[in-house]
Amino acid sequence: MNEQTIHIPNPDVLPLQDNLLTGDATQSDVESIRRQTSVYVYEVPVRLWHWINALGITVLCVTGYLIASPPPSMQIDEAVNQFVFGYIRFAHFSAAYIVTFAFIGRIYWALVGNFHSTQLFILPVWNRHWWKEVLHEARWYLFLERDPKKYVGHNPLAHAAMFLFMTLGLTFMIFTGFALYSQGAGQGSLSDRLFGWVIPLVGGSQTLHSLHHLGMWSIVIFILIHVYAAIREDILSRQSIVSTMISGHRTFKDDDPN
Amino acid sequence: MSQMETFYDVMRRQGITRRSFMKYCSLTASALGLGPAFVPKIAHAMETKPRTPVIWVHGLECTCCSESFIRSAHPLAKDVVLSMISLDYDDTLMAAAGHQAEAAMEETIEKYKGNYILAVEGNPPLNEDGMFCIVGGKPFVEQLRHAAEHAKAIISWGACASYGCVQAASPNPTRATPVHKVITDKPIIKVPGCPPIAEVMTGVITYMLTFDRLPQLDRQGRPQMFYSQRIHDKCYRRPHFDAGQFVEAWDDENARKGYCLYKMGCKGPTTYNACSTVRWNDGVSFPIQSGHGCIGCSEDGFWDAGSFYDRVTDLTQFGVESNADKIGIAAAGVVGGGIAVHAAASILVSAQRKAQSKDPSKETHEETRS
């Protein structure tokens, strides 16, 4: 047994006896599960939000791109019986409402959920140690560190990216998006009263369109990095990532205490 | 001038019959979107109220606002100028010139302190102490400040006075500045457009005279009755937009069929104005009806907001000519390429470490992990 362990070994118990007999497990599997640990980190609402958000944002990016650059004209029927572009916009607005209310729900859950549910909303920039961890994680990504560290929640780099692109980025998209929506909803509508002030603030509707469009691209870039990093971390890091998004359990691959 | 005539007096003096006067009142009511009940109110106001003195000053401008104004059909500009308002100073329209004209303005300011309306066409340039626009031997900004001091309210005619327009477009060498940034202590009604629609201009004046108050303004200070909706919201080509039927190129079959001009860069969806309802030249047509997209002339900074013919417009902030899509695709390409390189490097490094960890001399926890 490794001296550097966070577990108190219980050598009297032999796990997976039946599995060993049926050939479902090997002796090294047994050794492995003696050393692995798992923490329940992400509760059901957090995971649900993640996937609703993922689906919603995908719909929003695709339809949003099409709204700015419409598909080729279609001549299916008379204009009165054809609603192609209308449906694209409808999908965009519906997905926007879902993502917005899911985000509000996520904020609520940060207040009532477990400790880790608040991580997304607070970036501990005042914490010296956190910055050291950011540097360490950046060095790990630059192949300058041999070993990554263990993280129960998000690693500091992912934490920063999620805070910037999701917490702030999604807020920006909700504000600019509903300001644009208020133009169609009309003056005096709820979205106009809540978000209409954004239009003169940025200097006009066309500028707002451009900003909202740039916001979409920043989210696309985040998705690229996010998906890549999740898969890479799942393979190379010392904890589970992808399955955690589904089960909520963070599994550590070794029993090294740090 | 000592005793102000009412609108009605002046109209009767001009030989306008009572019947024509009532017709005019009902047309004005419908132009303002008011119900029939307001017709007698308008008539009553015109019969009893003295004409409101108006001083109309001209800064850096092309006079297209005046050109538009004199083409108003409902109500006729002549009715407005000769009957409804007392246009005491307007260097473009008045008969007097030179010292006589300037004296007329001074007299009006003195006589109707706090009661006259100041209409501003164009804007003052502030660089070089305002020397880029001289009126009556003095910088225009001085005339503007002087006239604004005792005005009851200010109307900013057109994109120039409201937002700055072409003379304020980047790099704005004369520092042309919209009126509301120079005069900050008076109620200002912005009537943007390059030019504004004639009926919108006369409609705003008529409203103010009839009800003796400012029209209801939106967040940006524009009269809600004319600027609360986008061109797009009332565009007669809107069904083609919703259907996804667009003009793909000028003079293509879709253009002939009158499809939506969205892909040709029409700014209808981002422009607040009444063109698609009030239209131009006595309701004859408006740009989209004539087959050209809206250029967004009543929007703030429309000269600097990119091409009139792009839907996703150029962003000049990045120094090079680029739009949100080009920037986004370039950035996504760089990040995607970076990810590919990083993934390849990750595979190589981890393969190398695996090979090393087979070496028994380097025993770490790495072994169990891999």
B194-212 pLDDT, tens digit each = 999 998 998 888 888 778 8
User: Residue A22's pLDDT is what?
Assistant: 78
Percent of chain A with pLDDT over 70: 95
Q: What is the ipTM of this complex?
A: 0.84
User: Residue A56's pLDDT is what?
Assistant: 97
Instruction: Report how far residue A245's alpha carbon sits from residue B319's, in angstroms, rounded to the nearest whole number.
Output: 41
Residue B153 host element (H or E): strand B153-157
User: Residue B82's pLDDT is what?
Assistant: 65
In angstroms, the separation between the Cα of residue A108 and the nearest Cα of chain B is 32
Q: What are phi and psi of A83, to 5 degrees?
A: -140, 40
A214 touching chain B per CB within 8 A: yes
Which residue has 């040709």 as its token pair?
A: B264
Percent of chain A with pLDDT over 90: 62
Q: Between 3.90.76.10, 3.40.50.10800, 1.20.950.20, 3.10.450.50, what CATH number should domain A41-222 receive?
A: 1.20.950.20
pLDDT at A106 over 90: yes
Q: Are B41 and B210 in contact (CB under 8 A)?
A: yes
Render pLDDT for B156-180 as a digit per residue (tens, 0 to 9): 999 999 999 999 998 899 999 999 9
Percent of chain B with pLDDT over 70: 92
| Beta-carbon separation of A210 and B315 below 8 A | yes
Render pLDDT for B229-242 as a digit per residue (tens, 0 to 9): 999 999 999 999 99
User: Residue B369's pLDDT is what?
Assistant: 44
Residue B88 host element (H or E): strand B85-90
In angstroms, the separation between the Cα of residue B330 and the nearest Cα of chain A is 10
Residues 197-226 of B with CB under 8 A from A: 218-220, 224
pLDDT at A10 over 90: no
In angstroms, the separation between the Cα of residue B278 and the nearest Cα of chain A is 18
pLDDT at B329 over 70: yes
- Among chain B residues, the shortest Cα distance to A75 is held by B245
User: Residue B317's pLDDT is what?
Assistant: 65
More confident residue, B330 or A168: A168
- Best CA proximity match to A208, nearest among B315, B216, B242: B315
**Average pLDDT of the residues in B19-43:** 83
Percent of chain B with pLDDT over 90: 45
More confident residue, B179 or A7: B179
A196 contact residues in B (CB cutoff 8 A): 219
| Beta-carbon separation of A210 and B324 below 8 A | yes
Picking from A63, A205, A208, A222 by the largest number of B CB atoms within 10 A of its own CB, the best residue to mutate is A205
B140 touching chain A per CB within 8 A: no
| Beta-carbon separation of A228 and B327 below 8 A | no
CATH code reported for the domain at B7-227: 3.40.50.700
Q: Which of B243, B339, B353 sits opposite A85 (nearest CB)?
A: B243
A90 touching chain B per CB within 8 A: no
Fold (topology level) of B236-311: Cytochrome-c3 Hydrogenase; Chain A, domain 2 (4.10.480)
Render pLDDT for A224-240 as a digit per residue (tens, 0 to 9): 999 999 999 999 888 89
Instruction: Report how far residue A118's alpha carbon sits from residue A122's, in angstroms, rounded to the nearest whole number.
Output: 7
pLDDT at B106 over 70: yes
Q: Which of A203, A214, A255 sits opposite B300 (nearest CB)?
A: A203
What residues pair up with B272 in beta bridges, in sequence order? Answer: B230
B305 touching chain A per CB within 8 A: yes
Q: Are A116 and A153 in contact (CB under 8 A)?
A: yes
Q: Are B85 and B119 in contact (CB under 8 A)?
A: no
Render pLDDT for B281-291 as a digit per residue (tens, 0 to 9): 888 999 999 99
DSSP secondary structure letter of residue B320: S
**Average pLDDT of the residues in B101-117:** 89
Render pLDDT for A133-167 as a digit per residue (tens, 0 to 9): 999 999 999 999 888 888 888 989 999 999 999 99
pTM of the model: 0.85
Domain ranges of chain B: 7-227, 236-311, 324-369
**Average pLDDT of the residues in B146-154:** 93
User: Residue A163's pLDDT is what?
Assistant: 95
Angle at A187 between CA A186 and CA A192, to 5 degrees: 90
